């Protein structure tokens, strides 16, 4: 018979830990102009945030530099 122990019930859930950010995986050409995107699925300070400014370009929001991106490059958006 299965054991019913409320103390162990939460050990095997898929609930992300507190403060965890989830990312959707997309291709650069799937996001709209003006959308924010990241190049990694992490919350580290080194993970720059970009804004899509044209069909092939994104702007680094920290440095304001424009970077070229391939249309099929994998990018991430926060959910």
46 within some domain: yes
Give the pLDDT of residue 43.
Answer: 86
The DSSP secondary structure of the chain, one letter per residue, reads: -----TTTTTTT--PPPTT---EEEEEGGGSPTT-EEESSSS--TTS-EEEE-SSSEEEETTT--EEE--TT-EEEEE-
* Per-residue pLDDT at 8 exceeds 80: no
1 within some domain: no
63 within some domain: yes
Give the pLDDT of residue 79.
Answer: 86
- For residue 65, the enclosing domain spans 28-78
Q: Please say whether the beta carbons of 19 and 42 come within 8 A.
A: no
6 within some domain: no
- Reported as a single tens digit per residue, the pLDDT across 17-36 is 666 789 999 999 999 999 99
Domains of the chain: total: 1
- Reported as a single tens digit per residue, the pLDDT across 56-79 is 999 999 999 999 999 999 999 998
Measure the CA–CA gap between 52 and 70, rounded to whole angstroms. 12
60 within some domain: yes
Phi, psi of 40 (to 5 degrees): -135, 160
* Per-residue pLDDT at 37 exceeds 80: yes
19 within some domain: no
7 within some domain: no
73 within some domain: yes
* Per-residue pLDDT at 15 exceeds 80: no
Q: What is the pTM of this model?
A: 0.76
């Amino acid at each position: 018979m299965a054991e019913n122990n409320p103390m162990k019930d939460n050990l095997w859930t898929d609930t992300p830990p507190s403060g965890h950010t989830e990312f959707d995986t997309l291709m650069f050409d799937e996001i709209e102009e003006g959308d924010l995107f990241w190049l990694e699925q992490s919350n580290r300070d080194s993970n720059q945030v970009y804004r899509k400014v044209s069909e092939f370009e994104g702007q680094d929001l920290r440095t304001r530099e424009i970077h070229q991106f391939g249309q099929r490059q994998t990018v991430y958006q926060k959910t």
